[in-house]
Amino acid sequence: MGNATVKKGFKLPHIYVLLVCIIFICALASWALPAGEFDRAPNEDGRIVVVPGTYHKVDSTPVGLFGALRAIYGGMVEASDVIFFVFLAYASINILLSTGAFNGLVAGLLRVFRGKARAAIIPFFLLLLGAAASAIGIFEEALPFIPVFAGIAMAMGYDAIVGIAIVAIGVGLGFSGAAMNPFTVGIAQNIAELTPMSGAGYRVICHLAMATVASAYTIRYALKIQADPTKSLVYGEDFSRFAMDEKRLCEHPFGAREKLVLATFIALMAFVVYGCKYWGWRFEEICAAFIASAFASAVIMGWGPTTLANKMALGLSEITTACMMIGLARGILVALNQGHIIDTVVHGMSQPLIGLPTWISAELMLLLQTLLNFLIPSGSGQAATIMPIMAPLSDLLGVSRQVAVLAFQFGDGISNILWPTAFAPIVAGLAGVKLGTWWRWFTPLFILILITQMILIGIAIAIGW
């Protein structure tokens, strides 16, 4: 009876089908919603931003069937910088992983932590990845680690979902509680005319609070799986391609070459942090640094050019599905832009905030930003679109602009691994977990984090932050 129920139950379609369906839904919406736009103008930094109070209707440009199909290609083109960055960064990091240096590091940690104490690895890496996201905006760069942590989690007696959680939640919360992320906090504070990186102390507290909630939730699930593997949401599914033998993992060599490779990678990350902070590095420069690290790792390990090329090719083939997802997700935004309805949606969502008590307005700002991230999953793009509206609106509502930026951060960060237009299908797909299964596990945690965020915003209002 149990098996029959599963077979007859609703199953989500392939992620490509789901994303293409959303493109067509957005195309249909362009026939129902009025087309409209905000005026845009360059600010003092030359960045094109929305001019508040300038929303106006424009000629309708509904998206037809052929237009929706064009949006698929258009999404691939518009997301090409992200797609090729993920391709090359994943392939480069795959070289690091092929050396066994990272597995050697994990082996050392596993030898230190035994039994239930191994769960300490979860908050350790969750905070480590979160710190990188908080400082320099790492998100896509962390995606290649998902299959690795899926295998590590299974070797520890957990499942692939725990592996996804360590990486995806780590960087998601790093964005939500970012202390100095130049792509989100930096842009938002600039538009809101706040001192750059001001308020970082409270944001660090927020990051730690959310990470504590996420760690407790993940550890509770992990220990339940360790005690009874049948409790896993993916029990019985085939994850053999990620499997790592626990004994072999614990005994994994960590010799001079592996340590030198790891030291090279740490130096790379430090170099990337410096480049992003002081030289304005973006995808092109970061990707070049990753490729240089891959070449250096191959030299250290004594690999020839053909061995290096074969390993790079393997990494490129493994990440193809996820890169296609990125392009299809961007196609949704292309369809919305073709119909000129993104600004209509943003304008409509901002109107109910006017005339409400301060604390309610602040909480609704958070909900608004979270919903808006479905339409504009780019942190910098969302900041440029909505902060010019939210900054003056916060003045009218009696909400500090610092709180308005915090609401933007909260809404942008962790929801990236919930919405199908952002990274949810990608993080699930990289570990071979069905999107519906990921949602089933993550949604309760997302609600807990959202409640935590609402409490943190309430505290910020109460202390006059």
Predicted confidence (pLDDT) per residue in 340-373, tens digit: 988 887 777 677 777 778 888 889 889 988 887 8
Q: Report which secondary-structure segment, H or E, holds 264.
A: helix 256-278
pLDDT beyond 70 at 380:
no
Asked if residue 418 belongs to a domain, the reply is yes
pLDDT beyond 50 at 399:
yes
Asked if residue 8 belongs to a domain, the reply is no
Task: Report the C-alpha gap between 199 and 189 in whole angstroms.
Answer: 10
Assigned token pair, 14: 């392939």
pLDDT band at 1 (very low <50, low <70, confident <90, very high): very low
Q: Name the phi and psi angles at 48, rounded to 5.
A: -75, 120
pLDDT beyond 80 at 115:
no
pLDDT band at 116 (very low <50, low <70, confident <90, very high): low
pLDDT at 2: 38
Of residues 284 and 213, the one with the higher pLDDT is 213
> Number of folded domains in the chain?
1
pLDDT at 456: 96
Of the chain, the percentage scoring pLDDT greater than 70 comes to 84
Task: Report the C-alpha gap between 105 and 148 in whole angstroms.
Answer: 13
pLDDT at 172: 92
Asked if residue 314 belongs to a domain, the reply is no
Asked if residue 274 belongs to a domain, the reply is no
pLDDT beyond 70 at 306:
yes
> What single DSSP character describes residue 115?
G
Of the chain, the percentage scoring pLDDT greater than 90 comes to 24
Which residues make Cβ contacts (< 8 Å) with residue 189, sequence separation at least 6? 195, 196, 197, 198, 405
Measured CA distances, 240 to 193, 359, 432 (Å): 52, 50, 10
On average, the pLDDT of the chain sits at 82
Asked if residue 95 belongs to a domain, the reply is no
Asked if residue 181 belongs to a domain, the reply is yes
Task: Report the C-alpha gap between 6 and 26 in whole angstroms.
Answer: 31
Lowest mean pLDDT among 72-76, 193-197, 236-240, 325-329: 193-197
Q: Which domain holds residue 212?
A: 13-33+62-78+101-252+319-462
Asked if residue 86 belongs to a domain, the reply is no
The answer to whether the CB of 386 falls within 8 A of the CB of 144 is no
Burial class (CB in 10 A: 0-12, 13-18, 19+), 384: buried
pLDDT at 150: 87
Which residues make Cβ contacts (< 8 Å) with residue 418, sequence separation at least 6? 424, 439, 442, 443, 446
Instruction: List beta partners, residue 37.
Output: 56
Task: With H, G, I as helix, E, B as strand and everything else as coil, classify residue 292.
Answer: helix
Of residues 10 and 331, the one with the higher pLDDT is 331
pLDDT beyond 90 at 65:
yes
pLDDT band at 238 (very low <50, low <70, confident <90, very high): confident
Say what the pTM is: 0.68
pLDDT at 420: 84
pLDDT band at 3 (very low <50, low <70, confident <90, very high): very low
Give which of 65, 60, 61, 62 is closest to 20, Cα–Cα: 65
Asked if residue 267 belongs to a domain, the reply is no
Of residues 346 and 225, the one with the higher pLDDT is 225
